[in-house]
Each structure stands twice: as C-alpha cells, then as structure tokens.
Amino acid sequence: MLSREDTIELSDITDLNQLKSELNHLPAVDVGDYISELPGERRAIAFRLLSKGCAIAVFEYLPTEIQEELIEALHDTQVCQIIEAMRPDDRVALFDELPAGVVKRLLPQLSPEERAATATIIGYPEGTAGRVMTTEYVRLRQGLTVGEALAKIKQSDRDKETIYYAYVTDDSRKLMQVVSLRQLVFTLPDTPIKDIGSDRVIKVYTETSQEDVARQMQRYDLIAVPVVDREDRLVGIITIDDVVDILQEEATEDIQKLAGVASGEDSSLSSPWSKLQNRLPWLLGIMALYIGASSSIAPFQDTIAKIPVLAVIMPLFSNTGGAVGTQALTVTIRSLGVGEVTAGDTLKILGKELLAGLGTALGLGLTMILLALIWTPPDERWVALVAGSVMAANSIVAVTLGTLLPIAFKQVNVDPALISGPLVTTLLDTIGFILFLSLITLSVNVWHL
C-alpha cells in the first residue's frame, strides 16, 4: 500500500517524465488510488502518462465516477482500447453504472468476441454466479496430450489467476475434467491429459448465488471454480480475488442491515443524501412499529401516576431485554449466513440458546431486583420483585424470539438481517411493558399493595 508519505512525494513531482516513470512502475491499485485523489482536471493528465498496458490495469481499480469522467475526457480510440481489454466481468460492472447512452456508443466498438462475452454475462441476474464470472479461462478439448495442452495455455496468454487450472470439455463444451498447471508442468509431454485430470470437478451453476459460490470456494480451498449451465456446459470461471471481495461485501451488508442501514452499502464516505435515503425510512419504520409498544403503556397511565418509580425502572428493562434478544439474533443470523447451521438444526439451536437463556434470566432477574430496590420507597419494595420476575421472563422470550425469528424469515426468503432486529426489540418491549404494568396494576387493584 502506498503510505501517506509516498503519496505526498508523488504529488511533489513536477517533472512529468519522472512522474511517468514512477507511475508505470507502481502496482496498478496504488496508481488508481493516486489518480482518484488528484483534483478533477489533473486526473486525465496523469492517466495519459500511463503506458497502454498499465492504463488498462489501473482503469479497473478506479471508482465508477472517475471511470465515467475519464471516458468523457479521453479520445474514443483510447477508451475503446481500455474497454476492449477489461475482463468481461469488470466491463459488465462498469456498463451497469454508466449512462445508457454511453454504453450504446461503446458497445458497437467492441470486437465481436468481447461483445458476445459482455452480452453473456449481462444476461444473468445480479448476484448470481453468471454475473460475477469471467469468460476468460483455459478450455482444453478432450484427447489432447500434456504437451499440446501446455502449448494451448501458452498461446492463450490469460490473466495470471486464470491459468492455474484448465478445464477439459467434450465437443459440446460439457465439462469433463479439471487439470492444474502444476500437474501439466510436472508430467511427461506425451501423457494424455485424461490420465492426469480429475473427474470429480467441483463446479457451480450460472444461477447459483454469489454467496453460495464464495462459501463453496472457501470450503474446498479453491482458487478458481468453473461455472456451468443447466446442461453442464462450461460458460465461465470465478476466481478467488472476486470471492474475497464478495465475502467482504456480504459481511458489510450483514453488519449494516443489523444496525438498520437498509441497503447494507453505506460507507463513511457515502454522500449525505444516500446516507439519509438508506437510514431515515428504516428509522421511521421502527418508530411506526414502536407505536405499538408505546401504546401498550397508555392504558396504564393511572398506575404510573400512582407509582412514578415505574417510569424509572421501565427503560432499564426494555434496554436490557432488547440487548438479550439482539445477542441471540445476531449469533443466529451469522451462523445461518456462513452456512454453519440450517433450518433443520432449529431444535438443537433453540435447546442451547434456552439453556444459556436460563442462566441469563437468573442473572439479570436478580440484578434487576437489587437495582429496583435502590429506587423504590419502602412501601413499594414489592415492585422490585415484580420487576425482577418480568425481567427473567422477558429474557427467556428474548432468546426464543432471537433464535426463531431469523430462521423463520430465512425459510420464507426474507433477509433476516434486515427485519428481525427492530421487530425483536419492539416485540420484547411491548411484551415486557404489558406484562410489567399489568402485574403492577393487578397488585394495586386486587391486593391493594
């Protein structure tokens, strides 16, 4: 990574020739960062200093806004060279963001093969293997020898990650075997590849979700996985660098959705307007949900007027109940998310959570009694006992809801991370308030405590 000092040094360079030589020797991602941080008008100048190969590599690392800017600023010939040389999956990601007019202008200028590759990938829905795969891979026809295979690989001259595995297909492109570069290099050239290839190919389908692809590659420690269509014909591969990014995005999404950031794609550097769009509707939603909880208090205003210490105790109690629920909820959502458990394990999970919940209920119930005793005047000490019992009961309800709700949402294909959080907190508060205030009111009215 470029340290802050390196960046300052680079911007101190006034001699364009020196800057040119520096830029062309740095890793592409670092040059991308350097160009992104330049003021608008200097970006195109710096970019023009890059050699053709370097410009292509750097372009892929730029944020979409800056890619758009450069597409407008550069000559169409240069733009076309870059777009033509991009990996098809990166090209599709760019086209997704560009204005339709620009895409329409660029698309016809691509070579027929690259246009076909782009069209193939764009045809699959976002978030599927078909959409994140690249069509640049090494395909070998059955019947070749090791020597012929190596010659073919050498000639194809693909990206560094994509040549470590080659895929063997029959004449109808049906995927038959996988063979690694390592195997090819260390086997005698006239050995038929079918003797060294592996028949048990781990593959994914074009419609497999990108999360499932990532999980499989992680599980089997793969650096590339072939993507096939329903007829088992090879259509692309997915490489580990894309999977690392997918896993990071998924984790960010889970974290943010649990905190009520709707898109799961907010960042400290997002625009204020997109932040507001991502957050306010959700906040209004939980306020609306919470009307239920607050309304459940309304009928008990007489009781509260009589025993105002209830207003001191109630927040403590809703705060903690929500926290117990959130813990169970988060652990369940993450375990479901990384594929560690499925709906089939519901009883096993619930058993463990309830056992832990009993301990929690005991601990929190007793603490609640002690705390409530601090605030209650001598003739209202009994309120502390009621508060402790309700806290304990609420904890049990909390772990139960926190465990079952995400599993249930997942079963009906609703993203549990997005909805279960506020629902659990609100349900818990409502149940807690009603239980607590009813018991107190009952005690006051019936036993005249």
Could you say whether residue 312 binds a second copy (CB under 8 A)?
yes
Of 280, 343, 414, 442, the one binding a second copy (CB under 8 A) is 280
Q: Structure tokens of 313?
A: 């105790």
CB contact burial 117-140 (16+ within 10 A = b; e otherwise): bbebbeebeeebbbbbbbbbbbeb
Residues 96-125 that bind a second copy (CB under 8 A): none
Touching a second copy, residues 253-272 (CB under 8 A):
254-256, 258-261, 266-272
Our finding on whether 89 is near a second copy (CB under 8 A) is no
**Which residues ranging from 374 to 393 are in contact with a second copy (CB under 8 A)?**
374-375
The yes or no reply on residue 220 touching a second copy (CB under 8 A) is yes
Nearer to a second copy, 74 or 426 (CB): 426
* Residue showing tokens 């409502």: 430
Nearest approach, Cβ of residue 414 and a second copy (Å): 19
Residue 6 in contact with a second copy, rule: CB under 8 A = no
By the rule CB under 8 A, 164 interacts with a second copy:
yes
Q: Is 405 in the site for a second copy (CB under 8 A)?
A: no
Tokens coding 27: 């890793």
Residues in Cβ contact with 282 at an 8 Å cutoff, skipping those fewer than 6 apart: 260, 261, 262, 422
182-212 burial, b if ≥16 CB within 10 A, otherwise e? Answer: ebbeebeeeeebeebbeeebebbbbebebbe
C-alpha–C-alpha distance, residues 425 and 82, integer Å: 51
* 384 neighbors 391 (Cβ within 8 angstroms): no
- Find the binding residues for a second copy in span 46-85 (CB under 8 A): none
The only residue of 133, 176, 371, 387 in contact with a second copy, by rule CB under 8 A:
371
Q: Which is nearer to a second copy, 100 or 269 (CB)?
A: 269
Q: Which of 241, 382, 411, 445 binds a second copy (CB under 8 A)?
A: 241
Positive or negative, the CA dihedral 24, 30, 35, 37 is negative
CB of 100 to a second copy, least distance (A): 29
29 versus 80: smaller Cβ distance to a second copy:
29
Contact between 434 and a second copy (CB under 8 A)?
no
Under the binding rule (CB under 8 A), the answer on residue 42 touching a second copy is no
* Interface residue with a second copy, options 147, 279, 419, 441 (CB under 8 A): 279
CB of 196 to a second copy, least distance (A): 14
**Helix pair angle (28-37, 40-48), 10° resolution:** 150
Binding positions for a second copy, 190-219, rule CB under 8 A: 200, 202, 216-219
Element (H, E) at 178: strand 175-180
**Cα distance between residue 241 and residue 131, in whole Å:** 15
Rank residues 120 and 327 by Cβ distance to a second copy and give the closer one.
Answer: 327
Which one of residues 42, 52, 104, 352 is an interface residue with a second copy (CB under 8 A)? 352
Site membership for a second copy, residue 27 (CB under 8 A):
yes
Residues in the chain: 449
Torsion sign over Cα 181, 187, 189, 190: negative
Query: CA-CA distance, 381 to 398, in Å (whole number)?
Result: 26
Nearest Cα residue to 131 out of 208, 199, 188: 208
